[in-house]
Amino acid sequence: MENRAVDKPKTSWPSFFDNGWMDKFFNAPLDEFFNYGKVLNVPAVNVTETEKDFRLSIAAPGLEKKDFKIDAYDDMLTISAEHEKEQKEEKDGRFNRREYNYSSWSRSFTLPENCDFGKIDAEYKNGELKIVIPKIEVKEPKKMKTISVN
Amino acid sequence: MYPGTASSKSIPAKSIKAMYFKDELQSNNLKPSSSIPAVNISKTAVKYVIVIAAPGLHREDFCIEVNNAIITIAAQKVASGYDPANDRCEYDYTDWARAFTLPEDADGLLTNAEYQNGELVIQIPRNTLADNVSQTTIYVY
């Protein structure tokens, strides 16, 4: 399964001030700004292939079932999550150290042809989102045969 | 399960350096990676809260110790059966340890820990009369 990056829609007037860094500077804790590259914003994924299915396991702790949105469109599987609670927590405590923040993210995968889109199953347990994508047999294209005319 | 019966694995102490809550100048091997979970530390008026993102474990897999003002958190689990050679493997939190030096006003003895929804939440009360010299093991609920 190959991973395809999801690009932000490009604005017609790209600007130095448009990337949100100023916003981050004023709103995020300073630690987070200076460490910006180090804060993990996107959870890690393990992908395993068995004979019957593909299994994705996403390490996204601290979320709830309802925060996830999983879409299979064309041959693209998109998993996104949005968690509301985070803002409140930040108010009553100041971060001394921040290495992860999984409150809003999205990841996409290109699915191979032999996936059964209708039977994708997902479960959130113990901080891991597990997605099982069953395989189906792909009918091989019919073989060409040339018939000679008698 | 009350503390008397909580199973605690004896996880061998690894050669890890303790990292101060806010020290950014420590060596690189202390940063989170695919085998070391990330950590958020926050401070309120009454306590310090350490949250470790370690999904897919059980509360019995953790071993938390406070000794000499250093808190060591270790975890060990039987391997999950991923084959890193064959598949895409971005994380593996089955065997790791992290350590932090506690600030002076953190009361290590009264620490409590809870594993919930893939996050290990450790709460350390703040107390100016804190005693961090003695050694304690903290059970995870």
CATH code (residue A62): 2.60.40.790
Q: Out of A46, A49, A127, name the one closest to residue B90 (CB).
A: A46
**Residue B67 pLDDT more than 50?**
yes
What are the tens digits of pLDDT across the range A67-126?
Answer: 899 988 888 889 999 887 655 555 556 777 788 888 889 999 888 888 888 888 999 988
The rounded distance, in Å, linking the Cα atoms of B36 and B95 is 8
Q: How many CB atoms lie within 10 A of CB B24?
A: 11
What pLDDT shows up at residue B114? 92
- In this complex, how many residue pairs, one in chain A and one in chain B, have their CB atoms less than 8 Å apart? 107
CB B137 within 8 A of CB B61: no
Q: Out of A1, A34, A93, name the one closest to residue B44 (CB).
A: A93
Residue A123 C-alpha, separation from nearest chain B C-alpha, in angstroms: 13
Distances (CA, A) of A150 to A144, A146, A147: 19, 13, 9
Report the relative pairing of strands A128-134 and A53-59 from DSSP bridges.
antiparallel
* Strand, coil or helix: B78: coil
A88 close to B (CB below 8 A): no
CA proximity to A121, closest of A130, A112, A113: A130
Q: Which two tokens stand for residue B58?
A: 């059980």
Whether B56 sits inside 8 A of A127 (CB atoms) is yes
Nearest CA in chain B to A46: B89
Domain assignment present for residue A61? The answer is yes
Distances (CA, A) of B73 to A85, A139, B101, B115: 26, 52, 12, 13
The rounded distance, in Å, linking the Cα atoms of B37 and B118 is 11
Q: Which residues in chain B are closer than 8 Å to A96, comparing Cβ atoms?
A: 21-22, 41-43, 48
Domain assignment present for residue A78? The answer is yes
The rounded distance, in Å, linking the Cα atoms of B122 and B138 is 10
**Residue B138 pLDDT more than 60?**
yes
Q: Which residues in chain B are closer than 8 Å to A42, comparing Cβ atoms?
A: none
What are the tens digits of pLDDT across the range A128-137?
Answer: 999 999 988 7
Cα Rg of chain A, angstroms: 21
Domain assignment present for residue A3? The answer is no
CB B132 within 8 A of CB B105: no
What pLDDT shows up at residue A129? 92
The rounded distance, in Å, linking the Cα atoms of A32 and A26 is 11
Whether B43 sits inside 8 A of A94 (CB atoms) is yes
Domain assignment present for residue A10? The answer is no
Domain assignment present for residue A13? The answer is no
Those residues whose C-beta lies under 8 Å from the C-beta of residue A113, and which sit 6 or more positions away, are A75, A138
**Residue B8 pLDDT more than 50?**
no
Distances (CA, A) of A144 to A137, A138, A140, A141, A147: 21, 18, 12, 9, 10
What pLDDT shows up at residue A76? 87
Those residues whose C-beta lies under 8 Å from the C-beta of residue A116, and which sit 6 or more positions away, are A133, A134, A135, A136
What pLDDT shows up at residue B24? 41
Number of domains in chain A: 1
What pLDDT shows up at residue A47? 87
What pLDDT shows up at residue A22? 57
Domain assignment present for residue A118? The answer is yes
What are the tens digits of pLDDT across the range B16-64?
Answer: 555 655 444 444 445 677 788 888 888 888 888 999 999 988 888 898 8
- Structural domain that includes position A66: 40-134
Q: Which residues in chain A are closer than 8 Å to B124, comparing Cβ atoms?
A: none
Domain assignment present for residue A109? The answer is yes
What pLDDT shows up at residue A124? 92
- The domains of chain B, with CATH numbers, are 16-74+87-138 (2.60.40.790)
Q: Does ipTM come in above 0.85?
A: no
**Residue B121 pLDDT more than 90?**
yes
Region of B29 please: left (phi>0), alpha (psi -120 to 50) or beta. alpha
What pLDDT shows up at residue B26? 46
**Residue B107 pLDDT more than 80?**
yes
Domain assignment present for residue A82? The answer is yes
